[in-house]
Amino acid sequence: MSVAEFKEACGLLVRMPVLWIPGVVGGLCAAFIWLLFILSGAFFAGRFVVITGLIVLFFIAGSLSVIRQNEGGMGALASGGRQYFFRVLLPQLVILFMILLVFVLVMLTLNLIGIASDPALLVFLSFGVAIPSILMTLFSDTAAVFEDRKVFESIQRSVDIVSQNTGKVISFVLISALASATILFSLMIVWEALLFDKLEPLTTYTEEQLQTFTPDQLLTMIGSEGTWVTAVVIFLAGLILIPLLMSYKACTFRRLAGSTILIQQETGEYDSKGRWYKY
């Protein structure tokens, strides 16, 4: 099933070139952050991560709207971005807050029972809390756009879909990871080929030298030319991955949503004779 949706996503990218716009914007933003990090350091680059992330999210919301309508150009993309930006953003903020809250509560509980925190435990807890939360709320953005759901409704809809289609969702995640790894590995080969002359001295390094080799030394080795080549490769990664993964996610949601029953909790109370009255 997931392979069929992947092929459908590729077909959408061929049929609707406007879906590449989020990739262009995301690639440019990522390359800009990289160059800013090299030129000005992590302090200034970190300040722009949130801003560029919001810009990319605007175009992603617009692209999901275009996929929902199954047609459209730049006008439809911009209109969809304006209409669904906050519907996509707010669930992500709620999810982030929930993850942080659970993490803090777990850490406080461990400290109260006398378990000291160490780096290994922090890493384990981070993955243990974040991965299930992200997986269960994976389709909150698509639910917000495709079904016009509000913040908590979109999160609940995502949880319903994932819980009722766990195997299919895991298949979607695995195919997405495989496609991402393939694209990134291919771009890494291109990067190494373009900078082969500058990276060639690494082949003569001993094992001890390689173990003590630092990222700063690598940046010095590739020089300004390598910095710009890296920026281009980062741009290409964003250009390809963002449209592909978002289109694939939208196609998967559209298929799963049609076969998923929405679980609704009824509110009411029992009377003295045990009869249920719905509010």
What tens digit of pLDDT does each residue of 75-124 get?
999 999 999 999 999 999 999 998 888 888 877 887 787 776 667 777 77
Asked whether residue 1 carries a pLDDT value surpassing 60, the answer given is: no
CB atoms within 10 A of CB 233: 20
Q: Domains in the chain: how many in total? A: 1
Q: Is residue 250 part of a domain?
A: yes
pLDDT at residue 266, rounded to an integer: 53
Range of the domain at 209: 2-258
Task: Please give the Cα distance from 7 to 5 (Å, whole number).
Answer: 5
Task: Please give the Cα distance from 186 to 114 (Å, whole number).
Answer: 48
CB atoms within 10 A of CB 90: 17
What's the average model confidence in pLDDT over 157-176? 93
Q: Is residue 268 part of a domain?
A: no
pLDDT at residue 276, rounded to an integer: 57
Which range is least confidently modeled, 53-67, 88-102, 265-279?
265-279
Asked whether residue 71 carries a pLDDT value surpassing 90, the answer given is: no
Q: What is the DSSP string of 132-195?
A: HHHHHTTTHHHHHHHS---HHHHHHHHHHHHHHSHHHHHHHHHHHHHHHHHHHHHHHHHHHHHT
Instruction: Estimate the crossing angle of helix 74-112 against helix 151-164, to 10 degrees.
Output: 80
Asked whether residue 183 carries a pLDDT value surpassing 70, the answer given is: yes
Q: Is residue 265 part of a domain?
A: no
Q: Is residue 276 part of a domain?
A: no
Instruction: Record the pTM.
Output: 0.84
Q: Is residue 269 part of a domain?
A: no
Q: Is residue 274 part of a domain?
A: no
pLDDT at residue 269, rounded to an integer: 62
Q: Is residue 252 part of a domain?
A: yes
Angle at 161 between CA 157 and CA 167, to 5 degrees: 160
Instruction: Estimate the crossing angle of helix 166-194 against helix 151-164, to 10 degrees.
Output: 100
Q: How far is CA 3 from CA 139, 158, 190, in A?
A: 18, 21, 27
Q: Is residue 91 part of a domain?
A: yes
What tens digit of pLDDT does each residue of 216-262 get?
888 888 888 889 999 999 999 999 999 999 999 999 999 998 765 55
Helix (H, G, I), strand (E, B) or coil at 16: coil
The total number of residues shown for the chain amounts to: 279
